Chains A and B, each alone.
Chain A
Amino acid sequence: RRGLSVAAGPPNTRQLREAEEAAPVFQYAGKAARRKDRVFVWGFTYSGALGVPSFVRPDAGWKKPRRIQPTPYRLETEEKISSAACGYGFTLLASNTRDITKVWGMGLNKDSQLGFQRSRRDQTKGYEYVLEPSPIPLPLEKPQETRVLQVSCGRAHSLVLTDSEGVFTMGNNSYGQCGRKVVEDEIYSGSHLIHQLKDFDSRVVQVVCGQDHSLFRTKKGTVYACGWGADGQTGLGHYNITSVPTKLRGDIAGVNIIQVSSCGDCCLAVSDEGDVFGWGNSEYLQLASVTETTQVNVPRHLPFKIGKVKEAACGGTGNAVLTEEGNVFVWGYGILGKGPNLIETAVPEMIPPSLFGWSDFSPDIRVAHVRCGLSQFAALTNRGELFVWGKNLRGCLGTGRKEDQYFPWRVTVPGEVVDVACGVDHMVSTVKSF
């Protein structure tokens, strides 16, 4: 019997400590680890507006196409996206870069709202549905110096705002919403035409698309409008279409407007002193606090006693404003966010801050931004959480459930939400990872 090998007993404390100190240390993130910027999309997929082709045309034969993406899905983009906008079945993503490709579009392209996307099968025709984020060629004079600041989408047209070359418009122009003269029987599908608008009193700092009209806000605080006006949404004092951007007068003449918003046929503007002005459709009591008529074609001051207003968001049938204290007020018609009993109101009602996560435990939570879709609302808190409520049309709320949401509900996004854009049946958000 040799007895050379000794059975290993339980390790005593000294051996354990030595093993611990000798263990290698792994580094997963260094001191210079940066937070990455990501884009998340959710909602109805078959229009291609989410930019994920495998939802519509699966890459394996046994996979089924996904009609609705009910929770946020990460979209891979080549560049950091600084601005996103959702239209009626299409999306625009813009980056603040100096490279030649600054804007990508996906979704419906039947009116060339995403520019001309050359089809690979037939070089003369364009794609009617774009399933992947595809670059939009803008006719820039200095493509390597100009930066795209913001994009906005309407029903069938889109606006791109640059810092030194004005506003580019493309898409349907049957009501003059692209800011150029209406051509009778113009065929918009497969059109190469992108119009440039430079004729404003000062530099344009915000562009907003309503359903069939466009609003431009300049640095001086004036607002220009063009497009369909049958509901008075152009605010120019008449109900005809306007094909050239014209300055608005009425109650906002001489007032420094700091924000404009529109999604359907109603428009809201916020001045630097915290006053709210509205014009356009009022069939859903949006402007019923000042008038009984259902269309208002001149901007009117809305005398609300809710404090200084910081931001306004105008939806299809309901509106929301955010005050300086961080409270959200809603009015209009539809699911407003105060339970199933509040269907319509002409006077703004506050949504209790406890629904946004405010409590004695965390008293410094405030709502930082409000956004509106056609029948949905979205609110972003200062902690980077996203709350949505409204009609859950084809999964556009992103809650993972199919039912409508009658009060603000958190959307689980793996990251801090920086901004969100709401469309009719889909939403896009720009997020910073942890």
Chain B
Amino acid sequence: MSSFSSCQSVREARRVAIFGGTHGNELSGVTLVHLWMKNGTEIQRRGVETRPFITNPRAVEKCSRYVDTDLNRAFTPENLSAPADGQLPYEVLRAQEINRMFGPKGSPDAYDVIFDLHNTTSNMGCTLILESSKDHFNLQMINYIQKALAPASCLVLLNEHPLLKYSTARSVAKHPVGLEVGPQPQGVLRSNIFESMREILKHALDFIELFNEGVEFPPCSVPVFRVSERVDYPRDANGNIMAMVHPNLQDCDWEPLNPGDPMFQTFDGKTIRYQGSGTIYPTFINEAAYYEKQQAFVATRRETLSANAVRKA
């Protein structure tokens, strides 16, 4: 750590939102936000306004991922600027409303930080999702969270891929952070998963409080898994899946998949192997919601990001 590396000045994080129910059947976030809307003591910190918010109440009511379209893909520039009329899907109207309340996206009035709470059926453990490798505030916060949770692990997924990144609800904020905890079936609340998510947020809010008080966080390294490609299930001519995630790969999120390793198993028992050129680290393996998005798993590569020192401006 060079003592000459510059310390980045970042504006205070005064306004923080916690989104739950962006997918209505991912229950840890729904439950936490409902809890905190009733009694927000646990999420209060000096110098921070922390606002818990249910982003997709109709989907929460139905306990479904979405009503018309996936809210967490709906925050595109086209959608946000579309004229609001009766023809727009529910989630697009909702995205516009959320953009008004917590944005506008890209403007100085936008919320400083948004935590978006998600669950996955994949065996990903505690995962933090970043959209930019250059957000040093976020990198420092993640480093703080990881150190606070140790020896329990919390891994980082970086989705900066020009084609695979998508317009999330949290992208309305200056510093968007996705929390993804699994494995948990949709529509189920598991106590251990719930408590893990709660603990991540506790440390995240502690970091923000310290940061706002003027603490300087020295340069650090943050190991990440960078999204490199999406791998679909083998499908037949009618688009039906022809094979399942192989038992050797199932539940092995974040573990290396080498060329020649088993990847899928057909319904009559044959093995299909990974034919890529190098080792990848699959994640989001067998996520229920991704069957319709043509994704059996996401391939990632390991990388280490350097975070500059940060201090409030």
Q: Is the pairing of A and B real?
A: no
Where the two chains meet, the residues of A that have a C-beta atom closer than 8 Å to any C-beta of B are none
